Structure 1
């Protein structure tokens, strides 16, 4: 049992770090635009100060409350940790990763960042410790609507990008690319990651818990 828990938490934390790294990579490729949720966070940052990561924590907390109201249950501890740690990791990586001035370099790091984000999301959701606030919202909508992960995530991120733009957040072709393709990447990386984890711990596949 301890071995199983260790592997689940290992997948969770590795996925969370990978996801934060990918998000920071896309922020460093800002000439192309940034991800829909980050458009919102940057817009709030420009209006009210604090940091991008801090606004990620605040919006995550609001989403947790809304999701809990729908499910009539509090999320798992992993969701709360995601709310806190993802914002912290993003601020750390934003500080560690150098800025790129050349458009070509920004384009490369942005594209790589989108791929890294997709794998990070798939890895950290797979152990069922608790999806992050935004992914929990996505999974709730998938269950309630019966639509696919890629369709729900794409719709959700397009809506968030519009709200972020209204707050003055930067959008561009990169924002559109993330909104359209990140959900499709997660659609494949989540079952892939879960399959690997289940093989390591010797269990059968299972439904994602909230």
Structure 2
């Protein structure tokens, strides 16, 4: 996920709504984009916990910390530079969307808990009884406006990501879940064989 996010930001054709906010905060207040990803994640995750009156699952904390840390790591790589041509920018952005979708598919397949923003979306849906799509749309419009006011990168890529990310994730998630289920089943089978052999 972090690599996909980094590619979409570096391509410089507009970032995803949440990343518009993170980059805007970076422009205005310093720190790093990954650090703002963690800080906003902490605020959002805490808000979700308060709304649901329960602690988020362990995977939400892992998502919050590691995605932010890896964004900064990828950003620091010397070859992670903005392409010189529109063709290069477009390829980099679309590659970022694909990597992001499969990254999300992999982490969700582990079933250790949704990330901070997804946790907040689910909490908002539970409290307001809104449809998930409406809750997600309200969240993303809100952070997009704030990020834009802070100077975050809003352009054609922002529109494409907002419209197409759901489709990309919808394709990636079932594939990742099928692989995860097969891998976990194989692990369980191997464990049973080892226990039988030891007996």
Alignment TM-score, normalising by the size of structure 1: 0.79
1:27 aligned to 2:9? yes
* Residue 132 (structure 1) shift: 1.3
Q: Deviations over 1:168-203 (max 9, x none)?
A: 212001011111111232233223322321222229
Contact 1:26 1:109 in 2 (8 A): yes
1:102 aligned to 2:55? no
Q: Which residue of 1 aligns with 2:197?
A: none
| Structure 1 residues 116 and 62, CA gap change in structure 2 (3 angstroms) | same
* Residue 72 (structure 1) shift: 0.9
SS at match of 1:202: helix
Q: Deviations over 1:72-111 (max 9, x none)?
A: 1111221112111111100111122233222221111001
Q: Which residue of 2 aligns with 1:60?
A: 41
Q: Which residue of 2 aligns with 1:116?
A: 99
Q: Which residue of 2 aligns with 1:88?
A: 69
1:168 aligned to 2:151? yes
Query: Between Structure 1 and Structure 2, whose CA radius of gyration is higher?
Result: 2
1:190 aligned to 2:184? no
SS at match of 1:33: coil
| Structure 1 residues 140 and 126, CA gap change in structure 2 (3 angstroms) | farther
Structure 1 consecutive aligned stretches of length 4 or more whose deviation exceeds 6 Å: none
| Structure 1 residues 107 and 177, CA gap change in structure 2 (3 angstroms) | same
Say how many residue pairs are matched: 183
Contact 2:21 2:144 in 1 (8 A): yes
* Structure 2 residues without counterparts, runs of 5 or longer: 187-199
Q: Which residue of 1 aligns with 2:110?
A: 127
Alignment TM-score, normalising by the size of structure 2: 0.83
Q: Which residue of 2 aligns with 1:207?
A: none
| d(CA) in 2 for partners of 1:115, 1:83 | 20
1:43 aligned to 2:57? no
| d(CA) in 2 for partners of 1:103, 1:38 | 21
